[in-house]
């Protein structure tokens, strides 16, 4: 009798725990089954890419994307569908965007170029000697006089030996962001950079760049990797003249919106888990991987939970953030707005690394919070998710950290090998997203959020 | 002093082990660095796909592929380069391969079809009513009379809910292999099957099929998934006539070769680790993933080891097997031949699941042998390899198991999501292989073989 009394509670605990485990395992299986056999992700991404297209902040297409998303949220029966106003930058690429180089021998070679987002135009045809640098560091060390009246060419390549390609991207990021400032400080009249891309091909990759008040603004463009190789080769034979025309320009900030929808929590409706990606994209291609996949992952995760009648304890809120690419006004505005409303935010999950085969989740949080999600590993391993490590949440959800002390942020981690083939390039189109990979990503997000809701 | 004596050996062991670990980690890093920054895999695959092309056993292209491979092995300085003769089947697709269906209303709809490998032709235009089945099991249960003079249509789809797509393939494999036999038994004059493919598109996927002596041979073809959907839809409205012409046929067996090269072991040159894939491919597309990637992985693994001056203890032998697709005469012939020569084989590794991002290795061996490779997990995890489980080695190396008791076989496991988009289809071309994913596969194979050689 004594023994029985002693062991009964232990048996009860084990038994309960094993039932819960079995239930979680069954629910996760149902989520992936639904994502792969009755998923809407692929057709929704097709519609976002083909019916709306590229959707740079401030563009008509970005506004259409907001309306497209609001309609979808309502069709899928999300609760409290809402457009949260944010003011965003408005920059337009214009109609002219061309470059050639001319060698000492008089050969003229066309180059593949895209203006960097935010760049000023060239005000007509610009012709100047081009000065090459292998890195931003090398440029910074150049003599001031050496760039006066010239065009700087920063030919810094992403390191192909980095296994996680985002690391290689991080290693080059500054040439795009700071290249115009540093070149201008030395007197350059324009800067062209090597696209932040791993393949050797003809696609230039755009992206945001910055100016600073005290330094004259100069035009900035990205050349395709093939174009950079051609130009670099020509430069080994002598002086080269670069001929450049871009008529991009900035306009006053414009009204736009984050798009919001929810499943209201059954037990703690006032405690919110945000999941999302960014609705805006660069203006080339279709923003299919960046970040069409991420917003579709997030919307599909909520839709899957609804379709499987999973009622979370906490409120799960999907947010399609506006303007991640060139200002993060959506992410910043959201965090400030929810704080000002007195909301309680307990976690956030972002998908902004493309629609590739899932590998796991990064945790920007405490060791305890990491351990919490590492406990999901066994349940998610059958679906190819093994990576649960400290890492980065995402740009859009990042500002929540400042507003909510101790909030854990999680970033969805798909395979990164192909991301920089498409990132910010005309090749970031629907056709380059694989249906199963996209669906597995949506399933992963839904399963992760389901488990997170149960853990918190 | 006593304490010192007691602890000294333990310290020594730990220290040695930690040095060895560090060395392995450094070597693995060097292997992946070389694969990603100085790799030849991508250009070699381009040459195999574009200069040689599809290479079905018995074809002129297969012979060219043998010569291409032999030249490569010699150029890369492999030792004991050798062509091992094997007799292989010789089947040709011919020049006609067309299908339409005609509805009761007289509408004529063209279909995308490929003859299955080994099929007889239709001997001119064949027209007959088509009888649909949702599975091979359903066909087997049909009344014998119901198929006399008719064409069977086995519209069995791969299960999209299987996370590892090879499982879904295994679930449908029999419709291709046995469909003609089972349909013929019931009196059918031909069989068409749903392509073993996951996407909904216009690419038919070919593959091997079988006849048996006591059952009349009937023509067999595979329709694209889109074509199957069209045909199935038409059949819901009434009787449908299928119109079919294929002039494929078999010829007498022909002489071909496995292509062999080695790095001879420094300590145990008579103990052999075989690594390889199959050089033959189906005759559509370019055999880029199946199994161009696998042979290139294997060759690049040896080349990487040589270029990094890694001298293995045991002999590492690369084998480009002939005729995996429709007979496995290369795999069977190799195992018999090396046994007859009295060679000692201690392990074999195969890559035949495409050139996608690495996930790990399967082990067809004992629990001890599995534990041996699970010890590599920590070293290979930084490169995305986490899966080290019991599983399948491969078709080519399979026959070694019969000849060498207890030999462990290992199968390289890349991500499987996109494999059945391309497998045996006209879309299996070089352009659908990603450079980094291919290079990471080659690095994985080289690192795995390096570690295996040290463990054995």
Structure tokens at A71: 């309609």
Q: How many residues does chain A have?
A: 456
Q: Are A309 and A266 in contact (CB under 8 A)?
A: no
Asked whether residue B87 falls in the same domain as residue B98, the answer is: no
pLDDT on residue B146: 87
Please spell the DSSP secondary structure of A331-385, one letter per residue. Answer: HHHHHHHHHHTT-EEEEEEE--S-S--EEEEEEES-HHHHHHHHTTHHHHGGGT-
Residues of chain B neighbouring A357 (CB-CB closer than 8 A): 357, 415, 417
Q: Is residue A27 in some structural domain?
A: no
Residue range B61-75: mean pLDDT, rounded: 98
The residue of chain B with its CA nearest to that of A198 is B436
The residue of chain B with its CA nearest to that of A436 is B417
Decide if pLDDT at A140 tops 80.
Answer: yes
Choosing from A225, A247, A269, the residue where a domain stops is A247
pLDDT digits (tens, 9 = 90+) for B286-308: 999 999 999 999 999 999 999 99
**Cβ neighbours, 10 Å, residue B251:** 10
pLDDT digits (tens, 9 = 90+) for B409-420: 999 999 999 999
Decide if pLDDT at B14 tops 80.
Answer: no
Provide the shortest C-alpha distance from residue B209 to chain A (in Å). 28
Q: How many CA atoms lie within 13 A of A189 on its CB side?
A: 15
Mean pLDDT of chain A: 95
B324 is catalytic: yes
Asked whether residue A348 falls in the same domain as residue A360, the answer is: yes
Cβ separation B434–A418 shorter than 8 A: yes
**What letters, b where the CB count within 10 A reaches 16 and e where it falls short, cover B58-75?**
bbebbbebbebbbebbee
Domain that holds residue B291: 27-91+252-455
**What letters, b where the CB count within 10 A reaches 16 and e where it falls short, cover B300-332?**
bbbbbbbbbebebebbbbbbbbbbbbbbbbbbb
Mean pLDDT of chain B: 95
Asked whether residue B268 falls in the same domain as residue B367, the answer is: yes
Q: Is residue B17 in some structural domain?
A: no
Q: Is residue B1 in some structural domain?
A: no
Q: How far apart are CA A436 and CA B160, in angstroms?
A: 8
Best mutation target among B41, B383, B415 (most A Cβ atoms within 10 Å) is B415
- From B61, B97, B286, B324, active-site residue: B324
Looking at the structure of chain B, the number of domains it has is 2
Residues of chain B neighbouring A33 (CB-CB closer than 8 A): 161
Cβ separation A421–B434 shorter than 8 A: yes
The residue of chain B with its CA nearest to that of A415 is B357
pLDDT digits (tens, 9 = 90+) for A332-385: 999 999 999 999 999 999 999 999 999 999 999 999 999 999 999 999 999 999
Write the DSSP symbol of residue B156.
P
Please spell the DSSP secondary structure of B250-310, one letter per residue. Answer: EEEEEEEEEEEEEE--SSEEEEEEEEEEES---SSTT-IIIIIHHHHHHHHHHHHHHHTT-
**What letters, b where the CB count within 10 A reaches 16 and e where it falls short, cover A368-381?**
ebbebbeebeebbe
Nearest CA-CA partner of A35 in A301, A401, A369, A312:
A301
Contacts across the A-B interface (CB distance below 8 Å):
59
What is the strand order of the sheet A268-278 is part of? Answer: A79-92, A249-263, A314-321, A268-278, A344-350, A409-414, A358-364, A387-390
* Residue B184 confidence class, pLDDT cut points 50, 70, 90: very high
Asked whether residue B145 falls in the same domain as residue B58, the answer is: no
Asked whether residue A286 falls in the same domain as residue A211, the answer is: no
pLDDT digits (tens, 9 = 90+) for A47-105: 999 999 999 999 999 999 999 999 999 999 999 999 999 999 999 999 999 999 998 88
Q: How far apart are CA B115 and CA B169, in angstroms?
A: 19
Nearest CA-CA partner of A231 in A423, A356, A100:
A100
* Residue A10 confidence class, pLDDT cut points 50, 70, 90: very low
Best mutation target among B381, B417, B433 (most A Cβ atoms within 10 Å) is B417
Q: How far apart are CA B131 and CA B58, in angstroms?
A: 35
* 3 state DSSP class of B108: strand
Asked whether residue B319 falls in the same domain as residue B209, the answer is: no
Q: How far apart are CA A382 and CA A251, in angstroms?
A: 50
Residues of chain B neighbouring A163 (CB-CB closer than 8 A): 32, 382-384, 440
Best mutation target among A29, A163, A360, A442 (most B Cβ atoms within 10 Å) is A163
Residue range A110-139: mean pLDDT, rounded: 98
Q: Are A300 and A293 in contact (CB under 8 A)?
A: no
Share of chain B above pLDDT 70, in %: 95
Structure tokens at A284: 């080339």
Provide the shortest C-alpha distance from residue A17 to chain B (in Å). 26
Q: Is residue A22 in some structural domain?
A: no
Strand B108-111 with B314-321, pairing: unpaired
**Cβ neighbours, 10 Å, residue B390:** 12
Q: Is residue A20 in some structural domain?
A: no
Provide the shortest C-alpha distance from residue B418 to chain A (in Å). 7
What is the distance between the terminal CA atoms of chain B, rounded to a whole angstrom? 37
Q: How far apart are CA B184 and CA A433, in angstroms?
A: 41
Active centre residues of A (catalytic): 324
The CATH number given to whatever domain includes residue A106 is: 3.50.30.30
Contacts of B359 (CB under 8 A, 6+ apart): A384, B384, B385, B386, B387, B413, B414, B415
Query: How buried is A23 (Cβ within 10 angstroms: 0-12 exposed, 13-18 middle, 19+ buried)?
Result: exposed
Q: How far apart are CA A145 and CA B59, in angstroms?
A: 66
Q: How many residues does chain B have?
A: 456
Q: How far apart are CA A362 and CA A350, in angstroms?
A: 10
- Which residues on neighbouring strands pair with residue A412, listed in sequence order? A361
Asked whether residue A228 falls in the same domain as residue A268, the answer is: no
Decide if pLDDT at A296 tops 50.
Answer: yes
The CATH number given to whatever domain includes residue A391 is: 3.40.630.10
Residue range B157-166: mean pLDDT, rounded: 98
Nearest CA-CA partner of B366 in B413, B407, B400:
B407
Cβ separation A163–B383 shorter than 8 A: yes
pLDDT on residue B87: 98
Q: Is residue B81 in some structural domain?
A: yes
Q: How far apart are CA A160 and CA A155, in angstroms?
A: 15
- Which residues on neighbouring strands pair with residue A272, listed in sequence order? A315, A345
Q: How far apart are CA A161 and CA A182, in angstroms?
A: 27
* 3 state DSSP class of A248: coil
Query: How buried is B214 (Cβ within 10 angstroms: 0-12 exposed, 13-18 middle, 19+ buried)?
Result: exposed
* Residue B104 confidence class, pLDDT cut points 50, 70, 90: confident
Residue range A307-316: mean pLDDT, rounded: 97
Share of chain A above pLDDT 70, in %: 95
Cβ separation A436–B415 shorter than 8 A: no
Asked whether residue B295 falls in the same domain as residue B411, the answer is: yes
Write out the H or E segment, with its range, that includes residue A81: strand A79-92
Q: Is residue B226 in some structural domain?
A: yes
Q: Are B199 and A437 in contact (CB under 8 A)?
A: no
Asked whether residue A73 falls in the same domain as residue A54, the answer is: yes
- Which residues on neighbouring strands pair with residue A413, listed in sequence order? A360
Provide the shortest C-alpha distance from residue A160 to chain B (in Å). 6
The residue of chain B with its CA nearest to that of A31 is B161
The residue of chain A with its CA nearest to that of B163 is A383
Nearest CA-CA partner of A140 in A192, A190, A175, A177:
A175
The residue of chain A with its CA nearest to that of B359 is A384
| ipTM tops 0.85 | yes
Write out the H or E segment, with its range, that includes residue A388: strand A387-390
pLDDT on residue B22: 53
Best mutation target among A41, A356, A384 (most B Cβ atoms within 10 Å) is A384
Residues of chain B neighbouring A383 (CB-CB closer than 8 A): 163
Residue with structure tokens 């006539």? B241
Nearest CA-CA partner of A191 in A130, A145, A236, A109:
A130
Structure tokens at B430: 């070089």
Contacts of A311 (CB under 8 A, 6+ apart): A263, A266
Nearest CA-CA partner of A208 in A54, A454, A378, A424:
A424
Residues of chain A neighbouring B386 (CB-CB closer than 8 A): 386-387
Decide if pLDDT at B350 tops 80.
Answer: yes
* Residue B262 confidence class, pLDDT cut points 50, 70, 90: very high
pLDDT digits (tens, 9 = 90+) for B123-142: 999 999 999 999 999 999 99
Structure tokens at B434: 């990603």
Output the CA angle B34-B37-B43, nearest 5 degrees.
Answer: 100
Decide if pLDDT at A427 tops 50.
Answer: yes
Whether omega before A242 lies within 30 degrees of 0, making that bond cis, reads no
Cβ separation A418–B440 shorter than 8 A: no
pLDDT digits (tens, 9 = 90+) for B351-394: 999 999 999 999 999 999 999 999 999 999 999 999 999 999 99
CB-nearest partner of B32 from A163, A382, A417: A163
Cβ separation B415–A384 shorter than 8 A: yes
Decide if pLDDT at A276 tops 80.
Answer: yes
Write the DSSP symbol of residue A249.
E
| Residues on chain A bordering chain B, Cβ-to-Cβ distance under 8 angstroms | 32-33, 36-37, 160-161, 163, 165, 198-199, 357, 359, 382-384, 386-387, 415, 417-418, 421, 434-437, 440
pLDDT on residue A145: 80
- Which residues on neighbouring strands pair with residue A390, listed in sequence order? A363
Query: Strand locations in A139-267, DSSP E?
Result: 151-154, 190-194, 220-223, 240-246, 249-263
* Residue A22 confidence class, pLDDT cut points 50, 70, 90: low
The residue of chain A with its CA nearest to that of B157 is A37
Please give the radius of gyration of chain A, using alpha carbons only, rounded to the nearest integer. 24
Nearest CA-CA partner of B187 in B245, B139, B244:
B139
Q: Is residue B22 in some structural domain?
A: no
CB-nearest partner of A437 from B386, B417, B435: B417
Choosing from A204, A223, A247, the residue where a domain stops is A247
Cβ separation A440–B417 shorter than 8 A: yes
Asked whether residue B404 falls in the same domain as residue B260, the answer is: yes
Least confident of A11-15, A176-180, B155-159: A11-15
Choosing from B231, B247, B263, the residue where a domain stops is B247
Asked whether residue B114 falls in the same domain as residue B189, the answer is: yes
pLDDT on residue B18: 45
Q: How far apart are CA A140 and CA B285, in angstroms?
A: 50
Write out the H or E segment, with its range, that includes residue B444: helix B435-455
- Which residues on neighbouring strands pair with residue A319, listed in sequence order? A260, A276
CB-nearest partner of B382 from A163, A383, A434: A163
Residue range B89-113: mean pLDDT, rounded: 95
Q: How far apart are CA A178 and CA A424, in angstroms?
A: 18
Asked whether residue A292 falls in the same domain as residue A387, the answer is: yes
Write out the H or E segment, with its range, that includes residue B171: helix B165-185
């Amino acid at each position: 009798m004594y023994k029985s009394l002693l062991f009964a509670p232990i048996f009860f605990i084990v038994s309960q725990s094993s039932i819960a485990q079995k239930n979680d395992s069954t629910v996760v299986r149902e989520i992936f089954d639904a994502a792969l056999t009755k998923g809407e992700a692929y057709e929704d991404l097709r519609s976002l890419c083909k019916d709306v297209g590229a959707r740079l902040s401030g563009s008509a297409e970005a506004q259409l994307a907001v309306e497209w998303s609001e309609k979808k949220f309502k069709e899928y029966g999300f609760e409290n569908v809402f457009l949260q106003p944010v003011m965003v930058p408005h920059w337009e690429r214009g109609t002219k965007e061309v470059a050639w180089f001319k060698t000492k021998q008089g050969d003229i070679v066309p180059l593949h170029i895209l203006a960097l987002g935010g760049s000023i135009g060239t005000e007509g045809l610009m012709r100047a000697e081009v000065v090459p640098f292998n890195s931003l560091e090398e440029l910074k060390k150049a003599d001031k006089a050496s760039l006066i009246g010239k065009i700087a060419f920063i030919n810094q390549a992403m390191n192909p030996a980095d296994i996680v390609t985002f690391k290689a991207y991080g290693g080059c990021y500054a040439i795009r962001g700071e290249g115009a400032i540093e070149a201008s400080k030395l007197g350059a009249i324009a800067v062209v950079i090597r696209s932040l891309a791993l393949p050797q091909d003809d696609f230039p990759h755009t992206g945001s760049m910055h100016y600073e008040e005290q330094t004259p603004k100069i035009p900035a463009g990205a050349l395709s990797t093939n174009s950079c190789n051609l130009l670099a080769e020509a430069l080994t034979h002598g002086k080269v003249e670069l001929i450049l025309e871009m008529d991009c320009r900035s306009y006053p900030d414009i009204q736009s919106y984050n798009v919001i929808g929810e499943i209201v929590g059954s037990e703690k409706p006032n405690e919110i888990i945000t999941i999302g990606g960014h609705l805006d994209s660069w203006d080339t291609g279709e923003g299919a991987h960046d970040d069409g996949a991420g917003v579709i992952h997030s919307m599909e995760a909520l839709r899957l939970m609804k379709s499987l009648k999973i009622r979370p304890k906490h409120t799960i809120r999907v947010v399609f953030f506006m303007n991640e690419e060139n200002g993060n006004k959506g992410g910043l505005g959201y965090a400030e707005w929810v704080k000002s409303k007195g909301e309680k935010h307990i976690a956030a999950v972002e998908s902004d690394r493309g629609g590739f085969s899932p590998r796991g989740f990064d945790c920007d949080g405490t060791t305890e919070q990491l351990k919490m999600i590492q406990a999901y590993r066994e349940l998610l391993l059958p679906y190819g998710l093994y990576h649960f490590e400290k890492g980065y949440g995402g740009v859009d959800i990042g500002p929540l950290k400042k507003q909510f002390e101790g909030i854990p942020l999680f970033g969805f981690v798909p395979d990164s090998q192909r991301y920089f083939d498409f990132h910010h390039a005309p090749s970031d189109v629907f056709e380059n997203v694989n249906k199963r990979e996209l669906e597995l990503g949506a399933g992963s997000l839904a399963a992760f959020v389901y488990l997170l809701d149960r853990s918190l």
